[in-house]
Amino acid sequence: MSTSASALQNQRNDDSFEDVWDELTWRGLVHVSTDADELKKLLAGEPITYYCGFDPTAPSLHLGNLVQILLLRRIQLAGHRPLGLVGGSTGLIGDPRPTAERTLNTKDTVAEWVGYLQGQIERFLSFEGDNAARMVNNLDWTAPLSAIDFLREVGKYFRVGTMLKKDAVSARLNSDAGISYTEFSYQILQGMDYLELYRSYNCVLQTGGSDQWGNLTSGTDLIHKAEGASVHAIGTPLITNSDGTKFGKSEGNAVWLDPELTSPYAFYQFWVNTDDKDVVDRLKIFTFLDRTEIDRLAEAVASEPFKREAQKVLAFEVTALVHGEDATRAAIAASAALFGQGELAALDAVTLEAAIRELPQAAEANSSSTIAQLLVDATLTKSLGESRRAIAQGGVYLNNDKVTDDAATLGAALLHGRFAVLRRGKKSLAGVVIS
């Protein structure tokens, strides 16, 4: 994953807005917040320090986290100082899920994931200049704290009745699973993070998903009680598709920022397949395109949706942001080549394999496998007879070359010695990978 220094330098907020608060609200990034008028003044004034936390509950961040990272970056572009917090301590516990207790990961695993996440976040922020970003780890101030000190110095400010009303806690209390004291205490730890950052860096704003609102306000309440100060929080909306399904999920799998978990090709395809009803909202949240350009693309969606211009722009912008322009152009080239609009042989092995892995597979293939049988194995045809008819009609292609012999085998047609692409007609594709 790579966001280059030049890419960071070219990023801008949209100066057609009065201030960054107006742009954030136009982009749909504010679902809930503390006093909006005060936040508008705060963000339009002298530089402040603000933060967002990310828990290492997986070896990579995903698209939901990207919303928060880009919000950090947009506020930094307005002149403010971001703190990117990776939860080395909170990651050992895990934020309560609505349905069941999390499986606790080992300390070594969490420490390893902390490093991964820090590296991912750092690529999106600038660590130079007067408003340079800083990375912090809450294990640094949590680990030295004894249980007695924690209860005396922090726990005394929390009321159990208030804690029970938090959405995540309430949902778990009403479920069969219940909630452990471990996860129940999570909101105290997150509140303590905000207090520590307030004391150490004069941090006065925390951002996070709106589903974290109870945890965010734990921090604002704690600072008010412990320090007598008023600080702020912004909760971004939970992003869902127009049909109500969870954004960034495909057959139960998250879309990860790590290219080893979600390839740049699969990442690009996710964005280019965005529904017309969702694409403008995605452009606002996930790109740095200005209002004029997004309005133009919105008009293109309305007047010429078949061209899918907005989706192509969205896919390019976000994939380039996360994986760099070279990987993005390789993904575009692979997509074109699969459908006969480019040279498959020109694709590097990594990109080609990533593209093929997204297709139906002809299992247990080898160089002597017949094309007719592979079509059946890949479900492009239902029988050998149908395969032979399709070949006779000139509708079958191997690596974009028309197959004319119904007894033809893979033979020497394998790309990089391992891969092949089968196509029936214009759009029905399947992949072959020789292990």
DSSP codes, 107-118: HHHHHHHHHHHH
pLDDT band at 178; cut points 50, 70, 90: confident
Pairing of strands 203-209, 134-137: unpaired
C-alpha span between 207 and 194 (Å, rounded): 11
C-alpha span between 265 and 329 (Å, rounded): 10
Tokens encoding 288: 């740095």
C-alpha span between 297 and 386 (Å, rounded): 43
Lowest mean pLDDT, pick from 142-151, 164-173, 329-338, 345-354: 164-173
Residue 19 phi, psi dihedral angles, 5° rounding: -160, 175
Instruction: Give residue 112's identity as a one-letter amino acid code.
Output: E
C-alpha span between 371 and 375 (Å, rounded): 6
Pairing of strands 253-254, 396-398: unpaired
C-alpha span between 435 and 113 (Å, rounded): 30
If you compute the radius of gyration of the chain from its CA atoms, what whole number of angstroms results? 25
| Model pLDDT for residues 306-319, shown as the tens digit of each residue | 999 999 999 999 99
Q: At what angle do helices 349-357 and 325-338 cross, to 10 degrees?
A: 60
pLDDT band at 5; cut points 50, 70, 90: confident
Tokens encoding 350: 């990594």
Predicted confidence (pLDDT) at residue 2 exceeds the cutoff of 80: no
Percent of the chain with pLDDT over 90: 80
Domain assignments of the chain as residue spans, ordered by start: 5-238, 240-347, 359-435
* pLDDT recorded at residue 4: 66
Q: Which CATH superfamily is domain 5-238 in?
A: HUPs (3.40.50.620)
Tell which CATH architecture fits domain 240-347: Orthogonal Bundle (1.10)
Whether residue 285 contacts residue 271, with contact meaning beta carbons closer than 8 Å, is answered with no
Distances (CA, A) of 389 to 116, 382, 383, 408, 427: 52, 11, 10, 14, 18
**Measuring CA to CA, which residue among 385, 387, 341, 379 is closest to residue 361?**
379
Lowest mean pLDDT, pick from 135-144, 243-252, 402-411: 243-252
The DSSP secondary-structure symbol of 47 reads -
How large is the average pLDDT for residues 267-273? 96
Whether residue 133 contacts residue 79, with contact meaning beta carbons closer than 8 Å, is answered with no
By the 10 Å C-beta count (0-12 exposed, 13-18 middle, 19+ buried), 363 is classed as: exposed
C-alpha span between 99 and 117 (Å, rounded): 25
Lowest mean pLDDT, pick from 52-61, 194-203, 340-349: 340-349
Contact partners, residue 328, CB within 8 Å, separation at least 6: 264, 268, 316, 319, 320
Strand partners, 415: 419
Predicted confidence (pLDDT) at residue 251 exceeds the cutoff of 60: no
* pLDDT recorded at residue 367: 84
Lowest mean pLDDT, pick from 40-44, 308-312, 334-338: 334-338
pLDDT band at 249; cut points 50, 70, 90: low
Predicted confidence (pLDDT) at residue 3 exceeds the cutoff of 70: no
How large is the average pLDDT for residues 78-107? 90
To the nearest whole number, what is the mean pLDDT of the chain?
93
Pairing of strands 81-86, 134-137: parallel
* pLDDT recorded at residue 300: 98
Whether 5-238 shares its CATH topology with 359-435 is answered no
pLDDT band at 129; cut points 50, 70, 90: very high
**CATH code, residues 359-435:** 3.10.290.10
Q: Is the backbone of residue 78 left (phi > 0), alpha (psi -120 to 50) or beta?
A: alpha
Tokens encoding 167: 């959405």
| Model pLDDT for residues 134-162, shown as the tens digit of each residue | 999 999 999 999 999 999 999 999 999 88
Predicted confidence (pLDDT) at residue 250 exceeds the cutoff of 70: no
Predicted confidence (pLDDT) at residue 248 exceeds the cutoff of 80: no
* pLDDT recorded at residue 187: 92
Q: Count the neighbouring beta carbons within 10 Å of the beta carbon of residue 127.
A: 13
Specify the pTM. 0.92
Contact partners, residue 326, CB within 8 Å, separation at least 6: none
